Structure formats: structure tokens, C-alpha cells
Amino acid sequence: MTATFSALPYWLWGIELGIAAFFMFGFLTVYLNMTRRAFDTENDSAAHRLLWRVGLVVLTFVTGIALNIQGDFSETNSLMYYSLAVFVFVFPLTDEEINFVEYAIRAVGVVGIGLAHHMPVMGAVRTFGFAALLAWVVVVYLFHKRVRHKLLINLVMSVIYASLFWLTLPPTAIKVAGTQGRIETQGMMMYIIISTGVFVFWNSLWANRQRTQHYAKIASFDALTHAKSFSLYQHEAATMFADARVRQSPFTMVELDVDHFKIVNDQYGHLAGNKMLIQVATTLKTCLKQASAQYQVYRTGGEEFTLALPNTDLTQALPIVTQCWQSVRKQVCHYEDQAIQVTISMGVSQVQTADKSVEDVYKRADDSLYVSKRNGRDTITVDGQTRQVKLKAGINDNYAFFVQGVYDDETADQARIRNELTLYHHDNQTNQWEPAPATELSVERLFQLIREAVVNLVLQRVQLPIPQARFLDAKVIDKLSQFMRSSDGPETLTLVLMQLPDKSALQAAVHAYHLAGIDVILDVTSCEKQAFAQLQESHPFDGLKYTLPATEGMTNRAKALLSAQAWYVQALEWAIPIIIGGIKTKSEVDWAQSQAKIHLLIGDYYETAELPIIG
């Protein structure tokens, strides 16, 4: 059937324009939803996206041909149907993500509907028009990524196409002689108005979509590191766990923590800490991306990250996790003129048969992370078993301060009043931590370890045993005084002097410590009372400490309890408190309270010494 056009009264033309607008807005809504699935959905597979892209072409051709056929059978409304058909074929040319093949297929539709309305292509005007149409198709391809978002380009392209289509119609397309000019005017105006209206509507939808995506990104990605957020982790990790259950496939999770992050914040400032977090997150994402596009990085806490490795068991995961650990370790975070070494502690676990939710996997990985931290940090623990993977373990890397609480049994809830720090050394051969003398380390390294321990304590009241030589060292006095006055210093600091020095040196050192607000107590475990004769008139101490022997022999511990009671009498005479250490049993607690009237106690009865990993 030959396509013919009828001129309309302008009031009827206006009605048809409104109907055409409503149709196009509905068509665009469907088209936009399909483009989201075809081009923007990362979660769909490539095969699914390809099907949606084919669907866009099918939608264009089916809708355009249907409208054109409807125009063939409609006498009054043919101009509206033909205009809509033309626009349905033209609009998809400006999709931004299509490739050359997709564009060529769509261009066939545009050329085809042009030929359908301009047959036969005879005469100079229509031959020129057809050639110009082909040129227009080529130009649109060159600018198709800009046409939809640039009003001037869109308007120019619309006017050119409308002119090429409507001004080159053959006489046989005009149903009533003498109306060609009005038909050309109405057709061009309808096309240009529809095109401009669609431009406004589409860009409004596009802008709303961009805002929605922006807000979704804010909610789904950590603003600082651009790792996925904790809220997204909760959703995606549960989905991965469910998929692993349904498909009977492995799923490994990794919990990791940036070592000594609070110290970096306190020493170098939050900007340095932020830069370190960004660097760690970027390194982790790069490592995982190289291994698999499925692997994900989430920031689940301040300095805590979670790695999700779907379809991966522990055997497959460990080399990947080790690579991440090594990559972070090899880098140095440069901030201003400082070079900050970065290390991470990691805990790894995979889905097990008894797991009921992803939280079961998370808890095992998190428990393993804490094992890594208790074993000195900068290492990897898999289901509670620490892997000895340190690359450059020097002598100083194997030292750390352990923490044990000092408790006041005179209070109803046995309040923890202080934290005592004890230096330990990790023996790589036995894989055990053993007490170590502080004199083995340089003053600088010793203070670094003290800062690392103090910054992680909830109760910032610190008790620090110190040997005589270090106690009298002017450099140590100065550093401890500065530390006590600094913003990252403890709330209180009490030194436990391990040996009694010369009286004059003792008085001078204690005076300097007191000026800095530091208390000094004397460990009298190995001291003879005769040594105190020189101190009877003016002792400088703020307290005494006596530690029960570690031996289990009843006789030795009974003698020690009597010695402790004698020292309690001395402390009472000097009006200072005494602390009893090495408490192991409830009977010793009862004895201290009832017989010796001693209430400040420390020992394994309350808790064993451990690395301060809180926070």
C-alpha cells in the first residue's frame, strides 16, 4: 500500500501532537528501562546484556513498522503515525553505548523508512535527498554520543532530518492536491516538536538517574577509600553465602586490620591516616582484580576491611591473600617528609557445612584476625592457625608489651584501676611469647612499643616496670616526661622501679618524674628490709609492689605471703599503698583481703597477660 498524507486542521493537528507526545513518553520509559539492563547493569552476565541489546533493536523495528502500517490504514491520522514511526527509527541512533554493528542495523531502519515514503527515488530532488540522508546518517554516527545531551546539536540534526524527509516527498504521497505545503509544514513541526520534547524528557530522566546513581554510590561505597561500604557488604555477603549454599560451591572470607593505625593518627595526624587507608584499599582492589572480577573489597570499620572471595576455597584463596598481604607490606605511605611503613593483620575462613549464615564465616575470620594480632600482627591466620609468613623479621619485630590489669578488691565490682605493661619477646622456634628484660632494646624502640601498647588501651592508666639503669637514664626521664605531657600520652603513668639505687640518684630521678606527673612505686620482691634504713626518714615512693613467686610449691608461696604481709606493714607505716602481684587463686585473694588487708591485686586469677588489641 502506498503511503499517503492528508493535511489536517491545525486544531486537530494539535490534538494528534499531544497524543503523539504521550505515546513517545511511554515508549521512552520502556526504552530507558531496557537500556539500563543492556548497558549499565554490572551484575548481569555478558550474555544477558547481549539479549537486552538485541531486544532494543527488535523493539525499534517492531514498533516502527507497526506504526507505519497503522499509518497506511488510517486516512485521518496518517501524518501522526508516520511521524511517530520515523522518530522511533531515528531516536535509537543516538544511544551512547552501541557499537558500529548495532548502529549500522539501526541505520538500515532509518534508510528503509525513508525509502518507503520516497519511492521511486527518481528526479534530482529525491536523489539528492537520499544521498543527503546517507550523509546525515554518517554525521550522526560521528556525533551520536553528544546528540542526546546537547540541545543545539539535537535541534540542528532534527531540522536537517525533518527537511530531508518532508521536503522531498513525491507527489504521489500527497492525497489532496494543493496541500503539500501544509503537509510539509505540519510534518516538520510535529517531528521537531516531538524531537525537542523527547530531548527535554530524556535528559530529565537521565539527570534523575544520575542523581539516583550518585546517592546509591554514596550509600554503597566508602567516600574515603572507594571500597564497598558496610551496608553493601551486609547485602552482598549474605547473597554470596546463599549462592554458595545453593550451588554447593566454596566461599572464603578475609578479615583484615591495618596495624598500629591509631598510632599513625596520633603521631602524624588524621590526614596521614586517611592516606594510608586509601593506599591499602587501592592495593587490595588491584590485587583482587588481577585474580578475579568476582572478588570484592569492603570497608567494614575504621581501619578494618573485609575481602569476599566467592567460588574459592582456602587452598585457592591463600596464595591470593598472601599476595595482598605482601603487596601492602612492600609499600611505604609517604606523608609530607615522613615514610610510614604499612602492615596488615589478616584472618581467613571459608564456608563450612554447619554454617547457618554468613555471620558464622565472618566470626571465624574475625577470631583468626585477633589471633594474628595477638601473635604480633603483620601476619595471616587461617581458622585459628597462624602462618609464619613474615618476610623481614628482625630482632625488634619480635617484641611487644603485654597487658595485665591491676584490680581494687575493696570495691564492690573489683574495679580495674590500672594496666601494667610487661615486655615480652616472641621465640620463632617455639612460637611462644616469653618475658624479656627492657634493657635488650634501644630507648627509641622501647618507646615505640610503649606507644603502640598505650594507644590501644581502653583504660589509659598505665603501670610500667622499669630497671634501675633505665629509671636513672636522663634520656628516659626526658622521653617519659614528654610522653606524659603529650596528647597521645596516658591518663596516668606509674613506674615500677625494679631495684633500689643510690639514695641521691634516686631522689633526683623521682623528683624529675614527679614534676612530670609520673608516680613511682618500688618493687620490693627481691629487696632486703635493711636496704630501706636510708629511706626511713624521707622515702620518695608513691607505693610498693610485691610479687608472689611463680612456683606452685605451697611452702614457698606461704613464705611469700608472710613476706607480703610484712611489706604491707612497711607500706602502712609510710602511708602508701602496696600492690600484690602473682595472685593465682581465690584463697590468695581472700587471704590478702582478710589477713593482710591488701586490696590492690594483680595476677592470673583475674586474667593472663595479653597483647593490647582493643580498638
CATH of the domain at 434: 3.20.20.450
Other CB atoms within 10 Å distance of the CB of residue 565:
18
Q: Does residue 287 carry a pLDDT above 90?
A: yes
Do residues 325 and 435 share a domain? no
Residues 193, 326, single domain; the answer is no
The CATH number of whichever domain residue 344 belongs to comes to: 3.30.70.270
C-beta atoms surrounding 37 within 10 Å: 16
Residue 314, pLDDT > 60, answer: yes
303 falls within a domain: yes
Q: In terms of pTM, does the model score above 0.85?
A: no
Indicate if 495 and 593 belong to the same structural domain.
Answer: yes
Does residue 200 belong to any structural domain of this protein? Answer: yes
CA distance 292 to 310: 10
| pLDDT above 70: residue 475 | yes
Residues 309 and 417 in one domain: no
Please indicate, yes or no, whether residues 353 and 406 belong to a single structural domain of this protein.
no
For residues 376 and 406, membership in a common domain is answered with: no
Residues 6+ apart with CB under 8 A from 557: 548, 549, 551, 588
Q: With 50 as the cut, is the pLDDT of residue 393 above it?
A: no
Average of per-residue pLDDT across 425-442:
76
Q: Which of 328, 355, 387 is the last residue of a domain?
A: 387
* Residue 551 domain flag: yes
**Is 23 domain-assigned?**
yes
pLDDT of residue 553: 65
Residues 331-339 have a mean pLDDT of 83
Last residue of a domain, one of 387, 422, 449: 387
In this prediction, residue 415 has a pLDDT band, given cuts at 50, 70 and 90, of confident
- Tell me what pLDDT residue 2 has: 54
456 has a pLDDT exceeding 90: no
Bridge partners for 493 per DSSP: 462, 518
Q: 148 and 268 in one domain?
A: no
Range of the domain at 60: 10-218
Looking at this protein, which amino acid is placed at residue 11?
W
Domain closes at, from 328, 353, 387? 387
**Is 1 inside a domain boundary?**
no
Residue 169 shares a structural domain with residue 20: yes
Greatest mean pLDDT range, 119-123, 234-238, 396-400: 234-238
Q: How confident is the model at residue 392 (pLDDT cuts 50, 70, 90)?
A: very low
**Are residues 420 and 553 located together in one domain of the fold?**
yes
607 in any annotated domain: no
**3 with 78: CB under 8 angstroms?**
yes
Within this chain, do residues 293 and 320 fall inside the same structural domain, yes or no? yes
Count of domains observed in the chain: 3
Instruction: Please check whether residues 342 and 367 belong to one and the same domain.
Output: yes
What is the per-residue burial (b if ≥16 Cβ within 10 Å, else e) of 519-551?
Answer: bbbbbbbebeeeeeeebeeebbbbbbbbbbeee
pLDDT at position 175 is 61
Q: Are residues 337 and 403 in the same domain?
A: no
Asked, for residue 609, whether it belongs to a domain, the answer is: no
What would the mean pLDDT of 12-21 be, rounded to a whole number? 80
The tens digit of pLDDT for each residue in 100-138 reads 999 999 999 988 888 887 776 555 666 777 788 889 888
In a domain, residue 613? The reply is: no
